[in-house]
Structure 1
């Protein structure tokens, strides 16, 4: 697809500046100075990589920005932000940046640390005394540092059913219900990616600052940084957009068909994934990070706290491409992933929300950063493009886009092989019990942290509806032994999250409870933590 919108490219000036910096290298003492040469690809080569990404991964549109030595040296849009209306992506197009928001929540707390209002090792209950987890020891000992490093003991994605699928939970309600969620491990013993802890962190920002998280982030970070058009309040930003607002539409691929997704304003989850931003604004965010908290001569955040966020807290196993990228370490800091890529330190975070995938990746020793924002739920596109750009800066030639496409195809082939044994296949056909038998399962069920689940008989089949979520409902197909499969009605939004529901009986043979388990692998659809207890009729 042809590229669109503006480009910022100070190419000859940048090369001159680089040669001058390298000449002065022996006396350089600033740790933010360029420590390794970084040769960016020519603009035409960057365009070719971006356009190949769109084609390979069926992505409607993307925005790309590159920063180097404190400047935004390239920013451009490619493809379409809205296929139905044929609207192009440009550097000002707003995307949901998903979990990259976590770095803003961490920075918000860092500002409060700079003020002396909190310390990283303060106990959370000293500022949020109402916080309660299922283990009294963890409740008592959990620190602010723990909130931001995915080591609380909660399982991967635990609590996410209160945050996504257009949830109606408030932030306060979701945090209150943490007391009912089971822990998977002991405190600080394992990494388990968890959004709820960043929701707690957002509530902590509010309690200490006296301002809503959305206002604090907008006033203390986005506006001072000049992140034009970026919004910390997704509910307000998406409520009444202008007729031709420059906002990307998210898409989900089913087979080879792209399905348009409605926006998810993330009412409770904003501190974990709610910011809307554009490539131009995210370039400024990277400039602040690479500038040790400073941008355009203004110190927004202290170098000490920037360094704290980039300090490893929780050890991670090597990533899936570790052998190819010659990865020696991988960890999580405070709101950032930390690793090495072919000898370069790499600071990064990705985000996925409502049909959009984003990735920020920085190479501090080269003074270089990349941001890619896309409107299709395929992380192979963002990972492949950023890896290709990193490879080019390092002077390599490995085909990362081709590698990620091969991995995607292999994963698809593996899914196809598994499909022969999935529920509804010839090997495991669904049953068709009469309505009189299905009525035995109908009724209201309640889970301690997620609330009410209603199962009703609709003609010759059962239907399940989940409370406090717009349109989270599905039909149920029967398998042997009181086992059903829930097929969610909204196939574009939740089609990959179909789940088993297993009913239990008491000694008299009456249905008394049910548990659920995801058929697929979306960690954010954490039905495995549910225990549905039947309510008296």
Structure 2
């Protein structure tokens, strides 16, 4: 659920005047040089990328809120301006909140970081019995379980009917593709399990716990645990580029607002505003002490949540074209940790359909930034996620806007090339069996069933041909045509054209279809939408 890869706007002129039109009103806050610098930079970003509909930015500077402001509009082509009370989906930035709830329960003696999950949830089970036995509360939060990148995300998006219990039950069927505690691979399903763990030891829904333990004490009155709870009048509308040639390229499009995210709430369900999220930044930088003087968690817990647990990457450090490239990056408890120009930076991104966001904290300065956007525009987020922390340090010596345009232009060129390869049949061969042979019910135990049916009259009757229809039975949005593509590979054409189409490659044995492997068509498909680990076996 990290930010997805999308193309840059094709407008490069940066206006030097009239920038105030991009910045909307902000609530009363302390003034500061950093807040002013970020405000100016945010306006420059909006001017440089005019296809970006709206933006919310919050800055805490040396322990004080110096910016909480909206830019642009809630909906492309509309007049309703984003302001400090506009709600955005913050997606995986929710994970740090779930980790904080766990920390509070550890302090109360209801959980232990390094106790096995099965102590509290005896039915918890991974596909490897050894991993089941060794998995601790801490392991749920640090992406070192051995699951593959984004494993099981089809139980979370797009709008499936899986419950939280279904997601946890599905863990025992997800393959362990790596070594337990032997490396990093980002997942969402174990954060859902962490939410169920919270529910198990408190006897309350995760939604109620986060509301009473975080939102209410911090007076985050417009922050909610699910998009379904967002006040329609104050929400930003999601946008992305649907194509052609593939999703991620093409004109900016307004997406339907997806309110069905309850099951995966602990991994990414929170929606917040620039004004509210300032309180969250403040309590983090205050090591658990809220702006109103109430302590939510101890300094020891704060430091524990920021302690690196899993190395994610290492490099030779900064280079000319990327002066903030970290020497080492790790994952802590709901946070990434790395060096940023000689200082420790805590950060996380979040990505949902039509929303991407970024949180960055420089604890040594008691300063931080939150960026919330209502479009999947990577160059916009990239400019702010690097240029923002630079300005927290009083710097502005690197042109992140120009850099982001160059990076995205190259990514777009590569994507067009890759998409052409991916969508061009290698042989143009016809399927070896009649279409009816591919129909049936297919099952993967972690996801459920996919049903393929024959539609239309017999070939030649009524002037129409037979065709195939596919339905992911627990995901109502994933249904539509299944068309012949290349030999035993077929391609979906989902009725809902905002969804990622997929290739089905069927395996045959003794002249019969026995299974199918599913893969996303678009090379831009985010790991949460790429159908990985879905290996369908045809039922008799």
| Cross-structure match for 2:412 | 412
Instruction: Provide the rounded CA distance (Å) in 2 between the counterparts of 1:534 and 1:140.
Output: 32
Note the C-alpha offset of 1:422.
Answer: 2.4
| Cross-structure match for 1:471 | 477
Indicate the SS of the match to 2:327. Answer: coil
CA gap of 1:321–1:3, structure 2 versus 1, over 3 A, is: farther
- The reply on whether 1:454 has 2:460 as its aligned counterpart is no
Note the C-alpha offset of 1:158.
Answer: 0.5
Indicate the SS of the match to 1:143. Answer: coil
- 1:10 aligned to 23, 26, 30, which one? 30
Larger mean Cα displacement after TM superposition, 47-56 or 405-414 = 47-56
- The reply on whether 1:291 has 2:295 as its aligned counterpart is no
Instruction: Provide the rounded CA distance (Å) in 2 between the counterparts of 1:349 and 1:269.
Output: 18
Instruction: Provide the rounded CA distance (Å) in 2 between the counterparts of 1:320 and 1:489.
Output: 47
2:429–2:487 CA contact under 8 A, matched in 1: no
- 2:304 aligned to 305, 308, 311, which one? 308
| Cross-structure match for 1:388 | 387
Deviations 1:281-336 (A, max 9, x none): 11110100000100222211111111111000000114899532142220000000
1:161–1:524 CA contact under 8 A, matched in 2: yes
1:167–1:267 CA contact under 8 A, matched in 2: no
Note the C-alpha offset of 1:249.
Answer: 0.5
- The reply on whether 1:260 has 2:264 as its aligned counterpart is no
Larger mean Cα displacement after TM superposition, 376-385 or 127-136 = 376-385
Indicate the SS of the match to 2:74. Answer: strand
Note the C-alpha offset of 1:432.
Answer: 6.5
- 2:509 aligned to 499, 506, 510, which one? 506
Whose helix fraction is larger, Structure 1's or Structure 2's?
1
- The reply on whether 1:166 has 2:162 as its aligned counterpart is no
| Cross-structure match for 2:402 | 402
Deviations 1:222-251 (A, max 9, x none): 11011121001434x05xx45xx2011100
Indicate the SS of the match to 2:49. Answer: helix
| Cross-structure match for 2:95 | 102
Indicate the SS of the match to 2:351. Answer: strand
Larger mean Cα displacement after TM superposition, 443-452 or 259-268 = 259-268
| Cross-structure match for 1:73 | 66
Q: TM-score, length-normalised on structure 2?
A: 0.87
Matches within 5 A, 1:103-502: 103-235=96-228, 237-238=229-230, 241=231, 245-254=233-242, 255-264=249-258, 265-296=260-291, 297-318=293-314, 323=319, 324=322, 325-394=324-393, 395-423=395-423, 425=424, 428=426, 437-459=434-456, 460=465, 461-492=467-498, 494=499, 497-502=500-505
Instruction: Provide the rounded CA distance (Å) in 1 between the counterparts of 2:364 and 2:41.
Output: 26
Instruction: Provide the rounded CA distance (Å) in 1 between the counterparts of 2:429 and 2:24.
Output: 53
Matches within 5 A, 1:50-65: 50-53=43-46, 55-56=48-49, 58-65=51-58
Note the C-alpha offset of 1:267.
Answer: 2.3
| Cross-structure match for 1:30 | none
Q: TM-score, length-normalised on structure 1?
A: 0.88
1:286–1:369 CA contact under 8 A, matched in 2: yes
Note the C-alpha offset of 1:400.
Answer: 1.1
Note the C-alpha offset of 1:82.
Answer: 2.1
CA gap of 1:472–1:373, structure 2 versus 1, over 3 A, is: same
Instruction: Provide the rounded CA distance (Å) in 2 between the counterparts of 1:404 and 1:85.
Output: 27
Note the C-alpha offset of 1:185.
Answer: 1.1
Instruction: Provide the rounded CA distance (Å) in 2 between the counterparts of 1:201 and 1:433.
Output: 45
Instruction: Provide the rounded CA distance (Å) in 1 between the counterparts of 2:497 and 2:338.
Output: 36
Note the C-alpha offset of 1:186.
Answer: 1.9
Matches within 5 A, 1:514-525: 514-519=516-521, 520=523, 521-525=525-529
CA gap of 1:288–1:319, structure 2 versus 1, over 3 A, is: farther
1:57–1:381 CA contact under 8 A, matched in 2: no
